[in-house]
Chain A
Amino acid sequence: MWGATNLNNVLLMIRNQNILTGCLAVVLGSALILWITPAQTIPAIFATVPSGFYPNFTSGMLIVSGLALAVSNIFAKQDKYIGGKVSGQISIRFSVSFILLVAAMAAAPVIGFVPTGICICVVTLLLMHEDRWTRIILISVTSPLLVWCAFEILLGRPLP
């Protein structure tokens, strides 16, 4: 019987991070083998082993390990996962950190290293609950300038 209790169990299990991770690994591995690697690999003409052998082999490992992870948890009697938290909080924090980090990195070549550095320092210190503005200003100004001077002047490596 596929009653409400079973449905609840399934929903519980779907929330299980191992199953989700395993399924994602299988999907990613399959996509790599079926579409991404063939589309993104120029076939070698004289090579003894095809150019796509290694990505396909490692994608195969991803599929097998992901499948084993998912299946072993699907057939588990209870939710035994004892690792990380499965919550919307993680997704939100991940999205925020992803957007902030990528935006900061993308801004550096456009507006320059020092202005980006000042913004990063201010945001980082505020996120870490530093509320003394003298320290925020001191660190936010000196850090980017010191790093810029170290690379530009000492090492002679140009920064954006």
Chain B
Amino acid sequence: MPVELDIIILGIIDAVSVWNILLVAAGVTLGILVGAIPGLNGPMAIAIAVPATFYLEPIGAIGFLVGIMKGATVGGAVPAILMNTPGTPDAMITTLDGHPLALKGKSGKALKMAHLSSVTGDTFSDIVLFVAAAPLSILAMMMGPVEQAAIIFFSICVMAGLIGDNPLRGLVAASFGFVLASVGQAPEEATPRLTFGFPELEDGIPLVAVGMGVLVLGQIAYAIAERQVSTRGRMVPPSIGADAQLSFGEYMAVKKTMFRSAVIGTLIGAVPGIGTALAATIGYSAAKRASKTPEKFGKGTIEGVAATEAANSAVSGANLIPLLTLGVPGNVAAAFLLGALIIHGIIPGPTLIRDEGQLVFSIFTCMAIANLCNLIIGRVGLNLFGLVAKISAIYIFPTVILLCMAGAWISSGGPVGLILLGIFGAFGYLLRAMNFSVVIFIIAFVLGRIWEFPLTQAMILTRSDPIRLLNYPVAVGFILAGLGLVVFLFFFTHFENNKVGKT
């Protein structure tokens, strides 16, 4: 399935319109602003923005959401450096060197390095996605529905194993997400299923209500209950003169570090479920190990900032590799992109590049535009975003709640959406309070809607006989690998806990 050149060119032409560029730029700006405010993050902004994209063309809609996703990774570094408070969880490691640099009066230099290394890591990861997506799709297309169903099961097992402290808890959260995804209509005869007499639920529980409820309202309720909103540092004064600038030489001096971190971030991002925070941690550790002056790490070195930001930003592009080739979202942001694609009638999966090649290359173009916007808007507005970081989330939360309400109302067309929003908001609080993974629940809910098709086909092909599964060794391999990973990680976690308990 070689991708024809005219499809690529048409895809690029489709994306490069003034309206689309404006939407991507708006998304990037919104993403940076949201990322810069401690207490808010990119996935929250994407969840709120999804209803607004209902009225947009698919390319503009996805471009807008991609812009938010990319902008938030840059914005998160601003409060991390200026206030020692990460705007997003992945910017936690940035505080280690970013804030000490700011305390030395080099906040401008640190911000510029964070911004440039973030864009560099992101661009590298996007290039890998552009190059790898089509060949991986060819591989994925060799698989039938049985293998596809097995891959989704494997992905969920990987996520359950790697997110949170207990893989079995992850599986419980994922299973519940799958159960909720089965509400709606049976695919073959469109008969209502688990709708409890509500015709509004015949299209399934709205993604917007679940996403905004669990991810946004749940987080706000948790932040209020746990009094998390007031934990903020003091803003350092702005740097002046040479300390406010980053020379080309300084940028090039850390090119190896950035490249290493970008590779780490890309590899981690390509595996579903592993977050940006881990990429930032590993990127930082690798840079420290490889550095000739490791003792400077943690005390304010520009290399530490570059390593962290390049790694966490490289995750965002790579996260789309499993989404666009297998239909499996790598993180919550990708899950919302998947949801937005489904809303626009596009089902990501192995055949996406073959069937919707033009659209895929339009999305790639939007990603490239988003990187360019990130570079320009981040550069121009860095000082402004520093001011935005001062705004307490306390004053943003009420507006965010109202935006969720309005979004739920217009997306579900009535009060049922609002009631569901409230229920899932409380459920989101409960998940957080009980230390369940919100990420895996939402990914399973989104994935559950597309898992049913290959699973049903697999049932027909195997005539519901598990023995016939042996005719599909690749599928059996994925199922066993998934189960094996969960069992291994479960015993590994227990072993580690026992060791901690004894010491």
Contacts and interface: CB of A to CB of B under 8 A. Distances in A.
A78 interface: yes
Nearest to A90: B433
A56 to B, nearest CB: 9
A21 B418 contact: no
Contacts of A108: 405, 409, 415, 418
A138 B397 CA distance: 14
Contact of A97 (B189, B426, B436): B426
A51 B415 contact: no
B422 A127 contact: no
B417 to A, nearest CB: 9
Contacts of B196: 40
Contacts of B423: 98, 101-102
B421 A44 contact: no
Contacts, number: 231
Interface in A129-153: 129-130, 135, 139-140, 143-144, 146-148, 150-151
Given A54-B455, A128-B224, A113 B398 contact: no
B395 A53 contact: no
B256 interface: no
Interface stretch (B22-30, B161-169, B354-362, B468-476): B161-169
A13 interface: no
Given A62-B175, A105-B421, A128 B229 contact: yes
B275 interface: no
Nearest to A83: B435
Interface string B453-488: 001100110000000000000000000000000000
Contacts of B429: 93-94, 97-98
A160 B413 CA distance: 10
B459 A18 contact: no
Contacts of A47: 186, 188-189
B174 to A, nearest CB: 8
Contact of A46 (B55, B189, B194, B221): B189
A57 B418 CA distance: 29
B410 A151 contact: yes
Interface string B491-503: 0001001101100
A154 B216 CA distance: 24
Contact of B452 (A54, A140, A160): A54
Interface in A6-59: 17-18, 21-22, 25, 28-29, 32, 36-37, 40-49, 51-55, 57-59
A49 B490 CA distance: 34
Interface stretch (B79-87, B133-141, B176-184): B176-184
Contacts of A160: 409, 415
A128 B397 contact: yes
Contact of A62 (B169, B172, B430, B500): B172
Contact of A54 (B435, B456, B494): B456
Contacts of B229: 128
Contacts of A52: 186, 193
A144 B402 contact: yes
A97 B498 CA distance: 36
Contact of A80 (B178, B179, B419, B497): B497
A69 B455 CA distance: 25
B426 A51 contact: no
A94 B430 contact: yes
Given A54-B182, A80-B497, A117-B402, A139 B395 contact: yes
Contacts of B193: 37, 40-42, 51-52, 55
Contacts of A135: 395
A122 to B, nearest CB: 9
**B: interface residue count bin:** 35 or more
Interface in A49-96: 49, 51-55, 57-59, 61-62, 65-66, 68-69, 72, 76, 78, 80, 82-85, 90, 93-94
Contact of B165 (A44, A48, A82, A124): A82
B407 to A, nearest CB: 9
B501 A80 contact: yes
A124 B434 contact: no
Contacts of B293: none
A12 B429 CA distance: 25
Interface string B25-55: 0000000000000000000000000001001
Interface of A: 17-18, 21-22, 25, 28-29, 32, 36-37, 40-49, 51-55, 57-59, 61-62, 65-66, 68-69, 72, 76, 78, 80, 82-85, 90, 93-94, 97-98, 101-106, 108-109, 113, 116-117, 120-121, 124-125, 127-130, 135, 139-140, 143-144, 146-148, 150-151, 155, 157, 159-160
Interface of B: 52, 55, 164-166, 168-169, 171-172, 174-176, 178-179, 181-182, 186, 188-189, 191-196, 217, 220-221, 224-225, 227, 229-230, 394-395, 397-399, 401-403, 405-406, 408-410, 414-415, 418-419, 421-423, 425-426, 429-430, 433-436, 448, 452, 455-456, 459-460, 490, 494, 497-498, 500-501
Which 9 pairs between the two chains have the least Cβ-Cβ distance?
A84-B435, A51-B186, A83-B435, A105-B422, A98-B426, A65-B171, A58-B178, A47-B188, A102-B422
28 contacts: A18-B166, A41-B194, A49-B456, A51-B186, A54-B186, A58-B179, A61-B174, A61-B175, A61-B178, A65-B172, A76-B494, A83-B166, A94-B426, A94-B430, A97-B429, A101-B217, A102-B419, A105-B415, A105-B422, A106-B415, A108-B418, A113-B405, A116-B405, A117-B405, A121-B402, A139-B399, A147-B403, A159-B409
Given A40-B195, A108-B409, A135-B395, 19 more contacts: A21-B169, A25-B175, A40-B194, A51-B191, A54-B455, A61-B174, A62-B179, A69-B166, A69-B171, A72-B168, A84-B434, A90-B434, A104-B422, A124-B398, A129-B227, A144-B402, A147-B406, A155-B410, A157-B406
